[in-house]
Amino acid sequence: MFVEAIASAALAWGAGEPAESVRPIAVSATPAAVPARQVFTWRWTDGSKATERTFRKSRYGSVDKIPKFQVKVYPAYPPWKAKLLFWVNGEWISRQTQRSDNKGRMEMNFDPRGPDGTWEDVTWIVRIRLKDISTTRTVVTQGVEEIRLKVRYTSR
């Protein structure tokens, strides 16, 4: 477009035929590659896709055996950040932040133990917000993706 404007201006000023250096060049008919849209997938490490889970101490025994929550972003670049927000007393409180690794993966764990180290009876409403942390966007995104979970722990 810029080259065409120069050529038009040269003709308008009576210079006749535009110089070789300002003549429009052929444009490729092949469109430029469009970056792939980032795709988010998630699951629990036990394979579940449930957004509401109950973890009983009688079944899992220890905190180490509780499934972790996994998020995968494809393509893996640009990197993404996941923030775990818990609904506490009428507001969202940030409890954990993760950054995707070079394969686009993040893994979050939930711990039902209270301050004294014992397994509590608690239900958490969790919001996981995913956000592009790159300074230049190379991938078409909606900016923020969100996953909502209800996780319940019982000491029985």
pLDDT value of position 51: 92
CB burial class (10 A; 0-12, 13-18, 19+) of residue 132?
Answer: buried
Assigned architecture for domain 39-154: Sandwich (2.60)
CATH 2.60.40.10 segments of the chain: 39-154
- pLDDT confidence of 53, banded at 50, 70, 90? very high
Global confidence as pTM: 0.65
Percent of the chain whose pLDDT exceeds 90: 16
Burial level of 10, CB count in 10 A (0-12/13-18/19+)? middle
